[in-house]
């Protein structure tokens, strides 16, 4: 009976709130100061491990990454995803994991085949570049045609001003802008890895993974009351046209919200510059839109793939990432998977009697389906296997290049820096100190080391799902380039020259944790 309840319980909701972040930071700042001071003292005492662990060469890591990204996408439940799952299972077995498991997870395979937006105003019809909104309802080949109404960002007060029944709602999607430089100067995290001094008080960052007014709903949870989509549905709208207003480009291929929830009316995304024209047309009394979104959905399965590299103890260090992707997914999360394989390659060369602890390697499915793979794994093993895990070293979006918007083309332009990111750390002095040491030694760039609940949410990424269901300590490494969740996430956006040194940093960090006493985790 208990297992049945576990399977049905809703997942925790993830939604960023400016108010909650500020309140949380006021509590965190003195705690961070204490931990930071203790960690700085501890750095002087940490001794180099006797064991030498060599990370793979760039060529080997790059070959893995290119294979992982050799399919157009790794969308959950598709044949492309299954191909890469099979490859990863074979690699786990080949590299020496014991009792490798490929555990199925039931999902819906939602596939869009054709999408189009056209707008008529009098005798003139204009076709607008667009992209589908994941997991929304399909139309027939002729689509649906209706008058357009513009509702701003779709707050309650916006909908009260206008009747949207039997109409197509046009709305702006909000993404938060983080005043990163000011925040870091005030909050002073555990450590800022910025050897090139690229961050100052003017540095800002758009969080393109966080749709403020179209947030994901929890797996098994109810529709969000604060969602422009569900407000439109409840008021009888036929469809939605959503403008990615705050994106730093004219990109429209956004894969989100990726909550795995099937939604009842069709919707399309527009880039912010294309959206400017549509916004104007929507406010003219005789404008009508035609939305076409053809496709199909069917039951399918996806797989978590995991195994254990045994050591001298049943205590486990967990090394994780997710293997699914919306598009090529070089950063999201080809690099994470390649980095997990790099750690397996490094540690499998160390004899069992020289590995103080065992290592649990896991590549989960469905990060872009509400985290269903990590959720199912955590619920299944939280009372046994995960109780032996001392820390989860979760690796996502490694070595992703930074981009900004080209003012002339409005496309992404690669800069000379890595994308900024964070390491979310459980609030333990030893974990903070050992991570700082590894980052300093390997000159890791543009990362901030912060508490796991820095944004008043679970850690942003796969580790957040694990920690929501178990008392798991985390070192959760993740970068946030603007092209995440878009078709622009391709291999040219990865700084290949940083892969091997980054893998060595992770190997050295795990090596130092191998000999850390259990009580200090």
| DSSP per-residue codes, 417-453 | EEPPEEEEE-S-HHHHHHHHHHHHHHT--SEEEEETT
Residue for token pair 């090139």: 196
Kind of pairing, strands 316-322 and 205-206?
unpaired
Of the CA atoms within 13 Å of residue 251, those in its CB half-sphere come to 23
Backbone φ and ψ for 106, nearest 5 degrees, come out as -80, 130
Q: What is the DSSP letter of 372?
A: H
Written in H, E and C, the secondary structure of 98-139 is EEEEEEEEEEEEEEEEEEEEEEEECCEEEEECCEECCCCCCC
Backbone φ and ψ for 20, nearest 5 degrees, come out as -65, -40
Residue 273: the pLDDT is 96
On whether the pTM is more than 0.75, the answer is yes
- Cα separations (Å) of 326 from 75, 203, 242, 270, 394? 5, 29, 19, 18, 20
In 3D, which of 483, 482, 463 has the Cα closest to residue 473? 463
Mean pLDDT per 10-residue run, the chain (521 residues)?
46 73 90 95 90 96 98 97 98 95 96 97 91 98 96 95 96 94 90 92 92 90 92 98 96 95 97 95 91 97 97 97 98 97 98 96 96 94 95 97 95 95 96 97 96 90 88 94 97 97 98 93 91
Q: What is the DSSP letter of 167?
A: S
Residue 469: the pLDDT is 84
Residue for token pair 């049945």: 4
Residue 4: the pLDDT is 40
Q: Exposure of 306 by Cβ count < 10 A (0-12 exposed, 13-18 middle, 19+ buried)? A: buried
Q: Which residues touch 381 (CB under 8 Å, ≥6 apart)?
A: none
Compute the radius of gyration of the chain from its Cα atoms: 23
- All domains of the chain in start order, with CATH: 32-108+299-520 (3.40.630.10), 109-177+206-297 (3.50.30.30)
């Amino acid at each position: 009976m208990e297992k049945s309840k576990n399977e049905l319980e809703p997942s925790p909701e993830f939604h960023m709130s400016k108010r909650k972040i500020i309140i949380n930071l006021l509590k965190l700042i003195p705690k961070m100061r204490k931990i930071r001071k203790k960690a700085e003292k501890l750095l002087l005492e940490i001794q180099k491990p006797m064991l030498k662990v060599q990370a793979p060469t760039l060529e080997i890591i790059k070959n893995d990454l290119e294979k992982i990204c050799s399919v157009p996408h790794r969308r959950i439940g598709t044949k492309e995803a299954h191909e890469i799952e099979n490859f990863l299972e074979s690699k786990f077995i080949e590299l020496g994991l014991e009792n490798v498991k490929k555990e199925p997870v039931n999902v819906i395979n939602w596939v869009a085949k054709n999408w189009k937006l056209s707008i008529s105003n009098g005798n003139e019809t204009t076709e607008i570049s667009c992209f589908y909104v994941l997991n929304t309802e399909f139309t027939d080949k002729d689509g649906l045609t209706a008058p357009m109404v513009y509702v701003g960002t779709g707050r309650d007060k916006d909908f009260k001003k206008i009747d949207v029944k039997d109409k197509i709602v046009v709305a702006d999607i909000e993404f938060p802008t983080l005043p990163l430089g000011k925040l870091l100067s005030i909050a002073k995290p555990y450590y800022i890895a910025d050897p090139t001094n690229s961050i100052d008080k003017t540095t800002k960052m758009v969080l393109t993974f966080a749709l403020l007014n179209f947030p994901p709903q929890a797996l098994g949870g109810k529709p969000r009351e604060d969602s422009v989509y569900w407000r439109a549905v409840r008021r009888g709208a036929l469809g939605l046209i959503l403008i990615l207003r705050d994106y730093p480009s004219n990109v429209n291929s956004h894969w989100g919200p990726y909550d795995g929830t099937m939604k009842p009316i069709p919707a399309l995304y527009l880039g912010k510059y294309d959206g400017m024209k549509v916004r104007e047309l929507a406010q003219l009394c005789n404008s009508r839109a035609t939305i076409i979104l053809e496709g199909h959905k069917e039951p399918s399965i996806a797989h978590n793939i995991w195994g254990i590299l045994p050591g001298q103890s049943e205590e486990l260090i967990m090394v994780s990432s997710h293997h699914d992707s919306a598009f090529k997914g070089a950063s999201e999360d080809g690099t994470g998977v390649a980095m997990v394989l790099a750690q397996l390659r490094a540690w499998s060369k160390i004899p069992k009697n020289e590995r103080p602890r065992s290592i649990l390697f896991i590549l989960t499915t469905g990060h872009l389906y509400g985290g269903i793979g990590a959720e199912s794994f955590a619920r299944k093993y939280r009372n046994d296997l995960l109780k032996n895990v001392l820390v989860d070293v979760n690796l996502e979006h490694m070595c992703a290049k930074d981009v900004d918007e080209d003012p002339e083309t409005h496309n992404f332009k690669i800069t000379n820096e890595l994308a900024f990111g964070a390491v979310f750390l459980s609030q333990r002095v030893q974990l903070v100190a050992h991570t700082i040491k590894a980052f300093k030694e390997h000159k890791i760039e543009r990362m901030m080391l912060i508490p796991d609940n820095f944004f008043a949410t679970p850690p942003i990424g796969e580790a957040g799902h694990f920690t929501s269901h178990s008392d798991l300590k985390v070192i959760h490494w993740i970068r946030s380039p603007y092209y995440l969740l878009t078709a622009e996430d391709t291999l040219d956006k990865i700084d290949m020259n940083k892969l091997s040194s980054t893998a060595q940093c992770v190997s050295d960090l795990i090596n130092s944790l191998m000999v850390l006493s259990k009580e200090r985790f």
